[in-house]
Chain A
Amino acid sequence: MKDIIVENICKSFPKEHIQALDDINIEVEKGELFGLIGPDGAGKTTLFRILTTLLLADSGSAIVNGSDVVKDYKAIRRKVGYMPGKFSLYQDLSVEENLSFFATIFNTSIKENYDLIKDIYEHIEPFKNRRAGALSGGMKQKLALCCALIHRPEVLFLDEPTTGVDTVSRKEFWDMLKRLKMEGITIIVSTPYMDEANLCERIALMQKGKILSVNTPTHIKSSFPDPLFAIKTEHMIKLLADLRAIPEIKSVHSFGEYHHITLNEPSENELQLLHQTLANDKHEAIDIKKIEPEIEDCFIQLMSN
């Protein structure tokens, strides 16, 4: 069963000359963990705001949990949870007051749905009397998630929940999402971190209002068109410049410890020639190996098309 159906959605902001969304089509299954992956300006937030009925599209249609985002907006607001990218809780209410406020708005109580938020709330419960404004980033994030969940939504929208958050807290957050998924909640989450794509069941890669690709992370990675090689020598900055100057090389991008390259005509022979060229350029400890692409390789390749 489809829980979210987005058809031909367009949205522009004429004053700013921005086409925020350009003919977006997405379907999300009931209970799916779906990721919108893309940098700032991709249109992730605009799409979230349309799906949570906070913004009207210029054209196209969208159904969330069986309700139309324009005609049935009131029904949707009761059924979805939304955690905006910008912290939007009441800074001068305490942790507990915020949570109880959101519960009351949705005609429920903390007690009624406590089992759903228990695992997350326990992290912040020792600070339940602290004002939300005085919480650290990680704790604000957890409180915001609790507030978005307290009415047991059918669909949960999380807009960049891990941006600016360190590796350890990011891992914790994704563990929480996996547990929520087991409760049968449909989760649609956006992130600028390409490595988090692998934690989603399906993803949409987005850039400048367009969708570059929608599929499972595995399928997107296996659709990478060329053999991909990782290459390393003792002088990585020089290597980058040297590789860019070699005409047989189709693409070169740095990826942490290695540079990733594709060749115009990949073959054993070409690789040996490359090795020789680099040795002639005084590179030492040359290490070239074939690798499987990461989501970021795919994103860059799709962007460059």
Chain B
Amino acid sequence: MNSEHAIITDQLTKSFGSFTAVDHISFEVKRGEIFGFLGANGAGKTTAMRMLCGLSKPTSGSATIAGFDIYKDTEKIKTKIGYMSQKFSLYEDLTVKENIRFFGGIYGLSNKALKLQTNKLIDTLGLESQSGKLVASLPLGWKQKLAFSVAVIHEPSIVFLDEPTGGVDPITRRQFWDLIYEAAQRGITIFVTTHYMDEAEYCDRVSMMVDGKIAALDSPEKLKLKYNVESMDDVFYHLARAAKRGE
């Protein structure tokens, strides 16, 4: 295992019949890095992420996640990663405390660790008065922060965040990134997708997927230099406009 890298992919490919959703992608994500995974709708991001999480078998190519092989060790991978998306995060009809206990349990925390983590988490998020309430009654911003905290409750090597800040107000969006920074500083690798291009700037490096391939991969600063543009929005526009695939 290469201990410097949380993710290594080599020619990773996924085809559905004659359609190649992910087309020979090769990249590495360093341990503790905040890695932005960008791309147009239909570029293949979700398919790639599903493979990296061990949920979908590649057609060809190879990859290791936290040192584990994505063909053979999918169950081990699942214990080493956290996952959160805008669409699926928490059970609305469980309370805050029940959600934490449920996900902590799923992620394999012992009863003792679970109790400790639950209290710690409720304390850090300032959710004491809300801990017995149904998650459905929480404002979206709190739900998202809680969902993130739950996704890293087992201190995974990598956390996958699929558009975690969609629809969230601008202040909460920034508080969410504070949580991301804290996790990254603890050594958790962050793998994040977003449609907000200012958030692309917060990543150490970003990759841009176009038509199933990685069209560019570098730090935001270097990408802007390379394409001689002012913002990540322009980098995105420049690359995604060249897409041939009809979404």
Contact = CB atoms under 8 A, between A and B. Distances in A.
A binds B: yes
Nearest to B180: A237
Contact of A167 (B170, B174, B233): B233
Given A40-B140, A167-B197, A303 B232 contact: no
Interface size class of A (residues with CB under 8 A): 35 or more
A256 B172 CA distance: 15
B170 A300 contact: yes
A256 B231 contact: yes
Interface stretch (B9-17, B101-109, B123-131, B236-244): B236-244
Nearest to B136: A16
Contacts, number: 94
A225 interface: no
Contacts of B98: none
Interface string B205-219: 000000000000000
B119 interface: no
B233 A138 contact: no
Nearest to A139: B247
A166 B137 CA distance: 30
Given A17-B137, A168-B40, A255-B198, A40 B163 contact: no
B137 A169 contact: no
A230 to B, nearest CB: 12
Contact of B237 (A168, A237, A253): A168
A54 interface: no
B91 interface: no
A164 interface: yes
B24 interface: no
A136 interface: yes
A303 B169 contact: yes
B166 interface: yes
Contacts of A169: 40-41, 247
Interface residues of B, number: 38
Contact of A171 (B171, B196, B237, B243): B237
Nearest to A237: B181
Contacts of A165: 41, 195
B220 interface: yes
A236 B231 CA distance: 17
A22 B29 CA distance: 47
B231 A296 contact: no
Given A167-B237, A254-B202, A256-B231, A39 B168 contact: yes
A192 B171 CA distance: 13
B201 interface: yes
A19 to B, nearest CB: 13
Contacts of B174: 253-254
Contacts of B198: 254-256
Contact of B42 (A136, A207, A255): A136
B41 A138 contact: yes
A290 to B, nearest CB: 18
18 contacts: A39-B169, A39-B170, A40-B167, A164-B195, A166-B39, A166-B40, A167-B236, A167-B240, A168-B236, A168-B240, A171-B237, A236-B202, A254-B174, A254-B202, A255-B198, A256-B200, A256-B201, A256-B202
Interface of B: 39-42, 137, 139-140, 163, 166-172, 174, 177, 181, 185, 195-202, 220, 231-233, 236-237, 240-241, 243, 246-247
